[in-house]
Structure 1
Amino acid sequence: MYDLSTRKRALALVAQGRSLNSVSRETGISRAAIRSWQDRLEPLPRMAPPDPGPPADERAYAYLLGLYLGDGCISGHPRGTGYYLRIACADSWPGLIDACETAMRAISPTGRTYRVQAQGYVSVVSYSRHWPYLFPQHGPGKKHERPIALDPWQQVIVEAHPWEFIRGLIHSDGCRITNWTTRIVGGERKRYEYPRYFFTNRSADIVRLFTNALDQVGVGWKQANAFNISIARKASVALMDAHVGPKY
């Protein structure tokens, strides 16, 4: 039998994000006993982790932010001890999956990531208590149904590394395609091909972040419709090819 203070001390260690194994080793209390106390005692408040501050690798963060705004989400651990950052990457682009994992590992406070295979895509995942600090756009509901804005420190990073941010957004919700048309030249109909980039997102705020970054680097764009941005001018496509390129 353990007194109430002993039980609360063990649960407080768990609330700090410690595993049941480590708490059991430190206190000498079995994991089963600690787990049963979690159900019987009134829940203790979780200790908020300290704000880690802006990430040191700003280039990796700008790219990962673009991926997150397109295909990422943050979900809490069922016991409230931390958060999972997940970014979905299509199986068709193995290089993109590698790039995503490299960037996530560079930013993750734990330095650890793993992959979860699903039908047609891979989720690149990392666990930490700090993800909501690093991606304050996290919140309930779909991104296009709530306001999305960058915090001042994020804006500084995006403005310092706009191409990495653009690359992340294109890799998540964009593509490079080849269009074609025909013209009559010298009495003959000839086919001409030309490359074009598209970016599609249902959030007007995320689209605006994308076009603001394009404006910063001198890429011309047109709004094809409410959700689609087209980049077709030859000089602008050349810039995109030099800094972004097709998915791989």
Structure 2
Amino acid sequence: MHDPLIRSRAVALVRSGVTNADVARLLDVPPGTVSYWTHIDRTASGTAPGIRPRPCPRCDGCDLDEAAYSYLLGLYLGDGYIVQHAQHRAPVLAITCGNAWPGLMDACEAAMRSVFPGNSVHRRRKTGCADVKLSSKHLTCLFPQHGPGRKHERPIALEPWQQRIVRAHPWEFVRGLIHSDGSRVINWTTRTIAGQPKRYEYPRYFFTNTSDDIIRLYTDTLDSLGVAWKHLRQRRRAQTISVARRASVALMDAHVGPKF
């Protein structure tokens, strides 16, 4: 282990044009160590050979697949999180998907690849679920809702450019929210017809979240789409929004559908 000050001085000297060999002799450090430090520094700055900084739709104005982004934004607000690990130079986005929904994992991975073309996407298996993950320096550019603490413990509001995307692709946003923190279920009841009990089944959509702001984003988008909804009465902190009217369920079926 070397003193961090020596490492910083070595990197600064190399940046100024001093060769690795001269830096090694000057600081009495093995040449291989100086080469390693230089490689790490150039990789972090995107100047290492063969490494190009990937453009960002917000920083560089490059194209963004807005439909895929609207879906991924819904997934992130539901079951996603962004973390910065000490061993990684860039933050990591992870969307947690249950093992019962392999199609959801595929859809999540496809959206990530569309929004971040060129970035690696992988899955980390856990008990009963998997995290679909990618790393990018520009995650906080595209997901400014990231911050310290849990999402329901801080304000969640969309930036004007995000609002424009959600208005243009509202069903993708709703689908992302449902696929993360929602479900489509079949309720049933019985009625007596001509003296005989008859079973009736009807589908409903539920969305549950603890953040008042995320609930409001969901219901405001439903309102813009003409989907009728109502709050369910619950004693727990989380809120559940139900869509049960036949016409509204038909709209959700046409554009969202169940997890798969």
TM-score between the two structures when normalised by the length of structure 1? 0.81
Q: Of residues 222, 233, 237 in structure 1, which corresponds to 2:245?
A: 233
CA contact (8 A) 1:54 1:153 kept: no
Which deviates more from structure 2 when the two are superposed, residues 108-117 or residues 135-144? 108-117
Question: Does the alignment pair 1:128 with 2:129?
Answer: no
**Counterpart position of 2:51:** none
Deviation at 1:110, TM superposition (A): 3.6
User: What is the alpha-carbon distance in structure 2 between the residues aligned to residue 182 and residue 57 of structure 1?
Assistant: 47
CA contact (8 A) 1:180 1:192 kept: yes
Q: Of residues 99, 108, 113 in structure 2, which corresponds to 1:100?
A: 108
Counterpart amino acid of 1:246? P
Deviation at 1:30, TM superposition (A): 5.3
3-state DSSP of counterpart to 1:103: helix
Q: Of residues 148, 159, 169 in structure 1, which corresponds to 2:167?
A: 159
Which deviates more from structure 2 when the two are superposed, residues 158-167 or residues 179-188? 179-188
- Structure 1 gap segments, 5+ residues each: 13-23, 38-45
Counterpart amino acid of 1:221? W
User: What is the alpha-carbon distance in structure 2 between the residues aligned to residue 11 and residue 56 of structure 1?
Assistant: 34
Deviation at 1:184, TM superposition (A): 2.1
**Counterpart position of 1:204:** 212
**Counterpart position of 2:225:** 217
Tell me the matched-pair count: 225
- Structure 2 gap segments, 5+ residues each: 1-5, 25-29, 39-44, 47-54
Deviating 4+ runs (over 3 angstroms): 2-6, 9-12, 27-37, 52-55
Question: Does the alignment pair 1:112 with 2:120?
Answer: yes
TM-score between the two structures when normalised by the length of structure 2? 0.78
Deviation at 1:32, TM superposition (A): 3.4
3-state DSSP of counterpart to 1:230: strand
User: What is the alpha-carbon distance in structure 1 between the residues aligned to residue 224 and residue 62 of structure 2?
Assistant: 22
User: What is the alpha-carbon distance in structure 2 between the residues aligned to residue 137 and residue 31 of structure 1?
Assistant: 42
Question: Does the alignment pair 1:81 with 2:95?
Answer: no
User: What is the alpha-carbon distance in structure 2 between the residues aligned to residue 147 and residue 227 of structure 1?
Assistant: 16
User: What is the alpha-carbon distance in structure 1 between the residues aligned to residue 8 and residue 186 of structure 2?
Assistant: 69
Q: Deviations over 1:74-115 (max 9, x none)?
A: 111416731111111111000000000000011115432111
Taking every aligned residue pair, what percent have the same amino acid on both sides?
55
CA contact (8 A) 2:156 2:214 kept: yes
Aligned Cα RMSD in Å? 2.9
CA contact (8 A) 1:7 1:34 kept: no
Q: Deviations over 1:104-127 (max 9, x none)?
A: 011115432111111111111111
User: What is the alpha-carbon distance in structure 2 between the residues aligned to residue 117 and residue 124 of structure 1?
Assistant: 9
Q: Of residues 95, 99, 110 in structure 2, which corresponds to 1:91?
A: 99
Q: Deviations over 1:33-74 (max 9, x none)?
A: 47779xxxxxxxx99x97245861000000000000011111
3-state DSSP of counterpart to 1:139: coil
User: What is the alpha-carbon distance in structure 1 between the residues aligned to residue 122 and residue 171 of structure 2?
Assistant: 26
CA contact (8 A) 2:71 2:111 kept: yes
**Structure 1 residues 147 and 54 mapped into 2: Cα distance closer, same or farther (>3 Å)?**
farther
3-state DSSP of counterpart to 1:81: coil
User: What is the alpha-carbon distance in structure 2 between the residues aligned to residue 10 and residue 168 of structure 1?
Assistant: 47
**Counterpart position of 1:64:** 72
CA contact (8 A) 2:11 2:37 kept: no
**Structure 1 residues 167 and 10 mapped into 2: Cα distance closer, same or farther (>3 Å)?**
farther
Counterpart amino acid of 1:113? V
3-state DSSP of counterpart to 2:257: coil
**Counterpart position of 2:27:** none
Which deviates more from structure 2 when the two are superposed, residues 94-103 or residues 176-185? 176-185
